[in-house]
Structure 1
Amino acid sequence: MQDASSPAAADAPRLREPRIAPAALARHLARAAQHPPPWLHEEIARRMDERLGLILRQPARLIDWWSPTSGGAPLLQARYPQARLLRTGLDGRPLEDEARGEGRWWQRLLGAGRTRPSSENEAPAELLWANMMLHWIDDRPALLARWHELIAVDGFLMFSCFGPDTLAELRTIWAEAGWGAPGSDWVDMHDLGDDLVQAGFADPVMDMERLTLTWDSPQALLAELRTLGLNTHPARQPGLRGRQWRRTLESTLTDRLRGPDGRLHLGFEIIYGHAFRPVARPRVEARTEISLDTMREMTRRRPASP
């Protein structure tokens, strides 16, 4: 048995504690798929679209990841009217109405696993857009590796998600009342940047902004939060709490969140990020084997930088 203090044990990768309860996330996604994107998602999509204006490259193929909740498809179609847009569902597969006919090349692309596309008709996307969904992913390295495969060399990823200070006021209220956690912990943008580099992306740029939303009643506040997601914390309260707890909650929210304008205020931290898929640069060792596909990527003439 290996001593935990040994060098080998110290170098072993640490397992991340799960942030998301899969059953709770499945319930949230099943409900989210039946409704339009939340207003906040559409607003963040609009702000992401403004950032696209700074990138000169005009992608010919786009992927709108988790399109039913992203609110990005109309903006992407308006900005890149000549591009071919794939909208994936909440399982990462092409939406049914786009999986027929001409869309089958996308099915082959997304279903290719670790195999790179082999023809122009299965060419990867120059832009993968993922708005307000990455905070629901526990195994980020696996998802980022998949995205890396789906993006063309010199193509780019754009995403947004909740940051760790989102709903900090609720976390304080829940902790003081001994109610457990009101929701899963969100991801720090520095960790996201590290994950992008580990997945093979280059030049990751991350930034953050804080938004404050207000409501005229605790009922309206809770109704809007339900559109953004359920409590997916693994240690969340099991079962229903009851009507008395709900009345206590509404009273507490009114007392603790009411601002000078008489409305209830909650803060959201939004993380934005983008990164590029660079030309492969294999590590040179005493014996180095390079695949034909990698050689093609390395020798392909790079287009002008955005």
Structure 2
Amino acid sequence: MTQSISWLQDEIADRMLQKLDIVKLDVKDILIAPDFPGKHLGALSKRFPKAQIISVVDEDVSDFQLWRAKALSNLRSLFGSSISPFASYASSGKFDILDNSVDLIFSNLLLQDLADPKHFLQESWRVLRKGGLIVFSYLGPDTGKELRLQSIKGLKLKNLLSPWDMHDMGDALLAERFSDPVMDMEYLSLEYERSDLLLADARAMKLFDITPLGAIENDVLPQKLTLELIYGHAWVIGKHLAKSKDKVAYVDVKQIGRKARSDSA
């Protein structure tokens, strides 16, 4: 996702923060993944002023935006915040932080760009402490459905990398040992007066391959674009639990201790 739809990133982040208002959480360390770039750092710094923040910057940011994000991070040097490029996670599939090191993961509009979000959930489980929380949003499979309902010459559509709907994600959270997942969904309808603006947003959301605007006739384009926004959060409670099967979590036999027995004569 590129910066051309920064307004959407800001809007959804605000909605995620509003949903956090009802959550009681003692936060010492936060992971923001991704941070578009450094925008969410300021909002979460105000919400949790004593927390250390790791802000994982989106790989598509410009040099200036990366510099700005680092400058904002330096303002919080007393609290130990840091900036790291998202490209390192994209290439390795791992966050460069220790196990059990954060209390909150804040992930805005990322999962739809991952072919298999379960790896992100596994990494999140690894770095979250017991009692930690993952909060996320992503675009659901109905996003851009108007473009798929009609054949548009010169426009090669493609599906989002992750086709997971709200129920798929809820099941995946349970399978990866998260507890009490809460999922929510809403449709956001965007209306356009100019076709080039619709195409710019659709391209930023990776709904089609890059196509020259001149190859598309404006009169065949829809004037509206629907976004399916999916929100979710889940807790890390039993880090000793093995992965679940059929929505039932099982205790890893290695975690079962043996109590010594003393026989009296």
The answer on whether the counterparts of 2:108 and 2:137 sit within 8 Å (CA) in structure 1 is yes
How much does 1:272 deviate? 0.3
Mapping of 1:1-306 within 5 angstroms?
32=2, 35=3, 38-68=6-36, 71-90=39-58, 97=70, 102=80, 110-111=95-96, 116=99, 124-174=101-151, 180-184=156-160, 186-229=163-206, 231=208, 243=214, 245-246=215-216, 248=217, 250-253=218-221, 257=222, 264-282=223-241, 283=250, 288-290=253-255
The answer on whether the counterparts of 1:41 and 1:71 sit within 8 Å (CA) in structure 2 is no
Partner amino acid for 2:157?
Answer: A
SS of 2:104 mapped into structure 1:
strand
Greater fraction helix: 1
How much does 1:90 deviate? 3.2
Unaligned residue ranges in structure 2 (runs of 5+) = 60-65, 86-93, 242-249, 258-265
Alignment partners' CA distance in 2, 1:228 and 1:278: 34
Describe the shift of the 1:291–1:183 C-alpha distance in structure 2 as closer, same or farther (beyond 3 A).
same
Unaligned residue ranges in structure 1 (runs of 5+) = 1-27, 118-123, 258-263, 293-306
Question: Deviation digits for residues 123-171 of structure 1, max 9, x if unmatched?
Answer: x211100001110011222111001111111110000001111111011
Sequence identity (%): 27
Alignment partners' CA distance in 2, 1:36 and 1:83: 30
Structure-1-length-normalised TM-score: 0.64
Describe the shift of the 1:180–1:110 C-alpha distance in structure 2 as closer, same or farther (beyond 3 A).
closer
Greater fraction strand: 2
SS of 2:160 mapped into structure 1:
coil
The answer on whether the counterparts of 1:167 and 1:266 sit within 8 Å (CA) in structure 2 is yes
Alignment partners' CA distance in 2, 1:88 and 1:61: 13
SS of 2:46 mapped into structure 1:
helix
Alignment partners' CA distance in 1, 2:4 and 2:42: 13
Describe the shift of the 1:37–1:59 C-alpha distance in structure 2 as closer, same or farther (beyond 3 A).
farther
**What's the RMSD between the two structures over aligned residues?**
3.4
SS of 1:40 mapped into structure 2:
helix
Runs of 4+ in 1 over 3 A off after TM superposition: 95-104, 176-180, 226-230, 239-242, 281-285
Describe the shift of the 1:139–1:284 C-alpha distance in structure 2 as closer, same or farther (beyond 3 A).
closer
